[in-house]
């Protein structure tokens, strides 16, 4: 393979190519950096690049003896701009942190990937302080008139476009899973607490997680193994797997016709592979909205007050976030107590669908990637029907104490990627079922065709 095509490999294939000596860490790094130069003007996935540091790191890795190489030796990655990367600024997509100085250390997840041998190419874009589903100015590699999703939109777009082979995102209400689905890649929301959030800009302490993103579940599994030091997950034996699915999705909330069709086909693929299928009974998705919004807004306000950013830097926040703070300040303690009780009840009802089973399968998003113009509200606050639809099936999962993996499951009639969530009690289970799904389907092999990028 030509060096300028190395960016097009999956993470797992790149490991093999580097492992057998066909290509070096420097060649992979240069290939991805070249790809960034080529497509970044169209998708805007990077907030800051670390080009020279990446080349120096790759050159160092090339000198390592085979016995000193980590499991992700030479793999180029991107890091969402809420996590510290030594030598780069952490600005969380906000003017509040515009004067941030380069970090003098790494967030634990970044450090773990570095210990495994990765090369950090730069910081990927995020919706301001990870509060949103759009990630401006990032665009979707499948259609640059559409959003990439958020708030880890930069990480998803960069992986989908071949700018890096893997990336880290953060997920509180769906911020890994939503952009993974909209950009046609795979992304994991781990259990809360599975990965330390030190040196990571907080959003909501009861919801925050850090998760890996790659083109395939196999790539995610390799990153997960490196992140937590666990054995590499293998594909599940379908004869041992029981899944819950929903026969009538639209009884739970609105879903586009293409989403329903691809979801039903994906569930059928797992059943045909040998998984046992049962009906899942879930609360309607709208039942979560009011209580979850109160909890998340209150925690978001508390984080920014504790950090000293709010209200001292109020003018540096976008009008969107200023309105969120205003709304959060009106929520009383009594309302919060009631909201937590309601969410605990909903979460218990949700988890009951897993009784005696391994995973619940749901669509990741209820719509295809919206056009960028449609996601804006007239007030500029970012709260539109499309925004709520993007969060519809991911946000509830974030309160259940479960892990979730989004994997591609097909294309809409407009040629846009769609995804399913595999939801289970732990990361190993959802990854093993994701690997099984990608053994019997090839949706994860589909690639966007960026105009002018070839």
The predicted model scores a pTM of 0.96
Q: Which residues are catalytic?
A: 80, 151, 175
β strands within 81-191, DSSP E:
119-124, 139-140, 143-147, 166-171, 186-189
| pLDDT tens digits, one per residue of 148-176 | 999 999 999 999 999 999 999 999 999 99
pLDDT at 184: 98
- Residue 235 contacts residue 439 (beta carbons within 8 Å): yes
* pLDDT-derived band at 381, boundaries 50, 70, 90: very low
In the chain the domains, ranked by start, together with CATH numbers, are: 3-445 (3.90.1300.10)
pLDDT at 377: 44
State yes or no: pLDDT of 387 exceeds 90: no
Residue 342 backbone zone (phi > 0: left; psi -120 to 50: alpha; other: beta):
alpha
What would the two tokens of residue 21 be? 């000596």
pLDDT at 12: 98
- Cis amide prior to 53 (ω within 30 degrees): no
Mean pLDDT in residue range 378-400: 77
Give the Cα separation of 289 and 395 in Å (integer): 9
| pLDDT tens digits, one per residue of 228-284 | 999 999 999 999 999 999 999 999 999 999 999 999 999 999 999 999 999 999 999
- Residue 107 contacts residue 199 (beta carbons within 8 Å): yes
Q: Within 13 Å, how many C-alpha atoms sit on residue 111's CB side?
A: 13
pLDDT at 384: 60
pLDDT at 450: 83
State yes or no: pLDDT of 124 exceeds 70: yes
pLDDT at 97: 98
């Amino acid at each position: 393979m030509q060096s300028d095509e190395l960016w097009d490999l999956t993470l797992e294939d790149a490991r093999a190519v580097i492992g057998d000596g066909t290509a070096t860490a420097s060649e992979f790094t240069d290939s991805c950096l070249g790809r960034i130069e080529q497509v970044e003007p169209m998708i805007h996935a990077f907030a800051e690049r670390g080009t020279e540091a990446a080349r120096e790191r790759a050159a160092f890795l090339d000198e390592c003896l085979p016995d000193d190489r980590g499991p992700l030796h030479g793999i180029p990655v991107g890091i969402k701009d809420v996590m510290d990367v030594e030598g780069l600024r952490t600005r969380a997509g906000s003017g509040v942190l515009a004067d941030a100085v380069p970090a003098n250390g790494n967030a634990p997840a970044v450090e773990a990937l570095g210990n495994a041998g990765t090369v950090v190419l730069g910081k990927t874009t995020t919706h301001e302080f990870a509060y949103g589903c759009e990630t401006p100015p990032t665009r979707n590699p499948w259609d640059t008139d559409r959003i990439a999703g958020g708030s880890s939109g930069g990480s998803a777009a960069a992986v989908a476009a071949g700018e890096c082979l893997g990336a880290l995102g953060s997920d509180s209400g769906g911020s890994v899973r939503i952009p993974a689905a909209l950009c046609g890649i795979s992304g994991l929301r781990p259990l809360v607490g599975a990965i330390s959030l030190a040196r990571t800009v907080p959003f909501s302490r009861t919801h925050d997680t850090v998760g890996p993103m790659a083109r395939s579940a196999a790539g995610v599994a390799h990153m997960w193994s490196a992140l937590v030091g666990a054995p590499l997950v293998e594909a599940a034996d379908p004869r041992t797997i029981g899944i819950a699915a929903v026969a009538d999705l639209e009884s739970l909330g609105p879903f586009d016709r293409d989403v329903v069709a691809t979801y039903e086909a994906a569930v059928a693929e797992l059943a045909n592979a040998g998984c046992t299928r049962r009906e899942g009974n879930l609360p309607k998705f709208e039942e979560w909205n009011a209580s979850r919004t109160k909890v998340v807004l209150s925690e978001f306000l508390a984080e920014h007050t504790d950090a000293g950013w709010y209200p001292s830097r109020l003018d540096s926040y976008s009008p969107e976030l200023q309105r969120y703070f205003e709304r959060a300040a009106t929520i009383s303690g009594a309302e919060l107590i009631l909201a937590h009780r309601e969410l605990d009840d909903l979460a218990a009802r949700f988890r009951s669908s897993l009784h005696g089973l391994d995973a619940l399968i749901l669509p990741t998003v209820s719509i295809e990637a919206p056009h960028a113009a449609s996601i804006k509200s007239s007030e500029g606050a970012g709260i539109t029907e499309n925004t709520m639809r993007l969060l519809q099936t991911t946000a509830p999962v974030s309160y259940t104490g479960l892990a979730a993996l989004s994997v591609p499951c097909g294309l809409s009639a407009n040629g846009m990627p769609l995804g399913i969530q595999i939801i289970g009690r732990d990361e190993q289970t959802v990854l093993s079922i994701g690997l099984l799904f990608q053994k019997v389907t090839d949706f994860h092999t589909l690639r966007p065709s960026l105009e002018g990028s070839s």
